[in-house]
A = this chain, B = another copy of it.
Amino acid sequence: MDGRAGPGGTGNGGRAGAGEAGGALRGISTPARLADPGEGIGRDELALAARNHGLPLEALRYDVTPPGLHYVLVHYDVPAAEADSWTLTLGGRVREPLALDLAALRSLPSVTHRVTMECAGNGRARLAPRPVSQPWLVEAVGTADWTGVPLRTLLARAGVEPDAVEAVFTGADHGVERGVEQDYRRSLPLADASSGDPEVLVAYAMNGAPLPPQHGHPLRLVVPGWYGMAHVKWLRDITLTDTPFTGFQQAEAYRLRLSPDEPGEPVNRIAPRALMIPPGFPDFMSRTRVVEAGVVRLEGRAWSGRAPVAAVEVSTDDGASWRSASLAPPDGHPWSWRSWHTEWTATPGHHVLTARATDAEGTAQPLTQPWNRGGFANNEVQRVPVLCR
């Protein structure tokens, strides 16, 4: 495969020649659709749910998520990547193109950022009608310490030409999606790519160890504050372009649309969300929780990629009334989730617990679904059914 085809400025993100078998590919790779009313999760959605996974909510207890508990979403296959022979190229509208192996990257000054990452599709399977794709409920999130070289360091070394407007990032994962064959590819505006806060990383370590295969081994992009689609895994090329990138993952997917014909707004920064560690213990099948009557500690995490979390409120009566939770003080990790907690005096019977985050821009989580055709950025509040005995 010609994995080194350039991203161009107007391509579809696929490789040259993809069109020749377009008809056959369209036969196995169908357009996006909405589930019919009452239609259960299908075999295709289930196959994605069986291979990708979310954070088991009790793992919200860890400040830094162990790799196997951090959510994973892989569009195509995890590539068979060898660190020893990996090369990252940086070209396009730069004065001096770079080709860096892992040793070269590791020899540069590194930084570590603690970043909460969330899939843009988190919450999709709670929507009605349901967009048919990876069927997340609320759990597609995780927090890790990512170590690598700031992208701005690499851009400064290569020398950005004055006409560059975007950086296009190409991963090694190859597949077909909605009829379009492609290497996974996304762009960032140059201002975001070269920013110092948040600082974009070309990361080679997660929680102090080499990246696991499913998290981008040996190299990935980390874009603090942005949904996961921006954090290109198995990163093999960065190309600066003088026109905005219009590839599939930028112009077709990851857009907020109410009808299929509109261009839609791009998905970018993470909307505010709070999640609760479900208290007590669960029923295996329903996941309904059981707590004893008396004082129950309610705790969890909250985050926003747009502004610091300013408040978390908790309801123990399915949103009829709310109280303020205590937010942990800032811990020096502005792009990581924050802990919150409160206490609840549980009384026998059935209850629905929920939590709602508000960020410093004043954006609060909605109590009803913010619907769009792609099922992106659905941060409707979590609901935790509890039986108190």
Chain A interfacial positions (CB closer than 8 Å to B): 21, 24-25, 27-30, 39-59, 61-62, 66-70, 72, 74-78, 80, 125, 132-133, 135-137, 139, 174-178, 181, 212-215, 278, 281-288, 290, 385, 387, 389
Residues in B whose Cβ lies below 8 Å from that of A29? 283-286, 288
Instruction: State whether A68 and B175 are in contact (beta carbons under 8 Å apart), knowing that A46-B49, A387-B24 are contacts in the complex.
Output: no
Residues in B whose Cβ lies below 8 Å from that of A285? 29-30, 44, 48, 132-133, 177-178
Lowest 4 A-B CB distances belong to which pairs? A40-B40, A53-B53, A68-B68, A41-B41
Interface-centre pick from A44, A80, A213 (highest chain B CB count, 10 A):
A213
- Minimum Cβ distance to chain B for residue A47 (Å): 5
Q: In the complex, given contacts A28-B385, A51-B56, what are 7 additional A-B residue pairs having Cβ atoms less than 8 angstroms apart? A: A40-B41, A50-B139, A59-B78, A61-B80, A67-B212, A68-B68, A77-B278
- Minimum Cβ distance to chain B for residue A3 (Å): 11
Give the docked Cα–Cα distance between A125 and B48 (Å). Answer: 13
Q: Judge whether B174 and A281 touch: CB under 8 Å.
A: yes
Q: Judge whether B66 and A284 touch: CB under 8 Å.
A: no
- Minimum Cβ distance to chain B for residue A138 (Å): 9
- Minimum Cβ distance to chain B for residue A166 (Å): 24
Q: Judge whether A387 and B28 touch: CB under 8 Å.
A: yes
Residues in B whose Cβ lies below 8 Å from that of A290? 25, 28, 176, 181
- Minimum Cβ distance to chain B for residue A72 (Å): 7
Give the docked Cα–Cα distance between A139 and B132 (Å). Answer: 21
- Minimum Cβ distance to chain B for residue A180 (Å): 10
Give the docked Cα–Cα distance between A27 and B349 (Å). Answer: 11
Residues in B whose Cβ lies below 8 Å from that of A75? 284
Instruction: State whether A56 and B77 are in contact (beta carbons under 8 Å apart), knowing that A68-B67, A68-B68, A213-B69 are contacts in the complex.
Output: yes
Q: Judge whether B59 and A50 touch: CB under 8 Å.
A: no
Q: Judge whether A28 and B175 touch: CB under 8 Å.
A: no
Instruction: State whether A46 and B50 are in contact (beta carbons under 8 Å apart), knowing that A281-B76, A281-B174, A285-B132 are contacts in the complex.
Output: no
Give the docked Cα–Cα distance between A74 and B55 (Å). Answer: 12
Give the docked Cα–Cα distance between A178 and B58 (Å). Answer: 21
Q: Judge whether A50 and B137 touch: CB under 8 Å.
A: yes
Q: Judge whether A52 and B51 touch: CB under 8 Å.
A: no
Within the complex, which residue of B41, B77, B282 is in contact with A42, where a contact is CB–CB below 8 Å?
A: B41
Interface-centre pick from A25, A68, A284 (highest chain B CB count, 10 A):
A284
Q: Judge whether A283 and B175 touch: CB under 8 Å.
A: yes
Q: Judge whether B135 and A46 touch: CB under 8 Å.
A: yes
Give the docked Cα–Cα distance between A50 and B139 (Å). Answer: 7
Give the docked Cα–Cα distance between A139 and B61 (Å). Answer: 28
- Minimum Cβ distance to chain B for residue A60 (Å): 11
Instruction: State whether A25 and B284 are in contact (beta carbons under 8 Å apart), knowing that A49-B50, A50-B136, A66-B213 are contacts in the complex.
Output: no
Closest to A174 in B: B281
Closest to A40 in B: B40
Within the complex, which residue of B54, B62, B282 is in contact with A76, where a contact is CB–CB below 8 Å?
A: B282
Residues in B whose Cβ lies below 8 Å from that of A42? 40-41
Q: Judge whether A283 and B135 touch: CB under 8 Å.
A: no
Within the complex, which residue of B48, B137, B214, B387 is in contact with A47, where a contact is CB–CB below 8 Å?
A: B137
Residues in B whose Cβ lies below 8 Å from that of A67? 67-68, 212
Give the docked Cα–Cα distance between A80 and B62 (Å). Answer: 9
Q: Judge whether A50 and B54 touch: CB under 8 Å.
A: yes
A–B complex contacts, Cβ < 8 Å, 9 sampled: A28-B290, A28-B387, A29-B285, A39-B40, A43-B125, A46-B125, A51-B53, A68-B68, A69-B78
- Minimum Cβ distance to chain B for residue A134 (Å): 9
Give the docked Cα–Cα distance between A41 and B35 (Å). Answer: 13
